[in-house]
Structure 1
């Protein structure tokens, strides 16, 4: 599995973007997210991926100063009331963890998470114990990850042993009491 394949899986996740509208007030652009009660300054998202809804299609680009969306081919000026999608970021500790696990473990983890109606972007907490074991020959421990999809909470324990074999065991526990355990061993 290539990094491009993993990247495409992450891009296709539910809730990968925050949706809302923009408003220019006193020379400051504001973003009003549909599901949030507060606005944020659009400048907070400078140089990040953004999608602009124009002429019945989504245009993907990078946000620049003064409400400019730059695509590889042209630039668009954002206007008052425009609908936009802002790409969410994955928690840094979870992103590092996903890079450490094998392709099979990554695929099984994401598939199970999605089947439980969670997205990688629903992560609200991740303790990645692997980063503390970087220079050790035998890596063994547990990572703790919490997801919130707006309806339920899912706690994941990732038990790992990396020595002669790479063993990943994910225990998913939902707030409803449902539990699922998956295991992946790579020789």
Structure 2
């Protein structure tokens, strides 16, 4: 699996974006998170990629000063109540873990997590033991990952053994009591 295919799986995850509206208040642009109703100054995302819903579609651009979004060919000036979104960041240790596991384990983990109605963007905690084994040629241990999709909690134990062959075992346990185990040996 190429890096491009991995990125495609990651980019098409549910709940990958924080969405909300913007308003111009006291000479400043304020973002109102649709999910939490929290207000944040839009300047927090200055010079970052955001998307604005215009002309019945999402358009990507770079947030510039004074509520301006730079598209490839033109600039767009925000208006009160414009709907915007920006991609959430993954928990750093989960991002590192996803980069370390082989392609088959990566694909199986994502597909099975999604089948349980969770997204990698639902991660609220990740302990990546592989980060501490960088010098070792024989690696084994367990990583712990917790996801919250708003309806359920999912705890994942990733048991790994990397010697001559690689073994990845994922044990999914939901707060509802449902369990699933997958193992990839290669």
Q: TM-score, normalised by structure 2?
A: 0.96
Secondary structure at the counterpart of residue 4 of structure 1? helix
Paired positions, count: 186
Runs of 4+ in 1 over 6 A off after TM superposition: none
Please give the per-residue CA displacement for 1:147-180, whole angstroms capped at 9, x wherever unaligned.
0001000000001111111111000000000000
Backbone CA RMSD of aligned residues: 1.1
Cα separation, 2, equivalents of 1:9 and 1:87: 14
Question: In the aligned structure 2, how far is the partner of 1:47 from the partner of 1:169?
Answer: 40
8 Å CA contact 1:139, 1:160 repeated in 2: yes
Structure 1 segments unaligned to the other structure (5+ residues) = none
Measured after TM superposition, the shift of residue 58 of structure 1 is 1.1
Corresponding residue of 2:161: 161
Determine the structure 2 residue equivalent to 1:74. 74
1:16 equivalent to 2:46? Answer no
Where does residue 4 of structure 1 map in the other structure?
4
Q: Secondary structure at the match of 1:7?
A: helix
Tell me if the contact between 1:48 and 1:87 (Cα under 8 Å) persists in the aligned partners.
no
User: Which stretch shifts more, 45-54 or 172-181?
Assistant: 45-54
Instruction: Indicate yes or no: 2:172 matched with 1:172.
Output: yes
Unpaired runs of 5+ residues, structure 2, are none
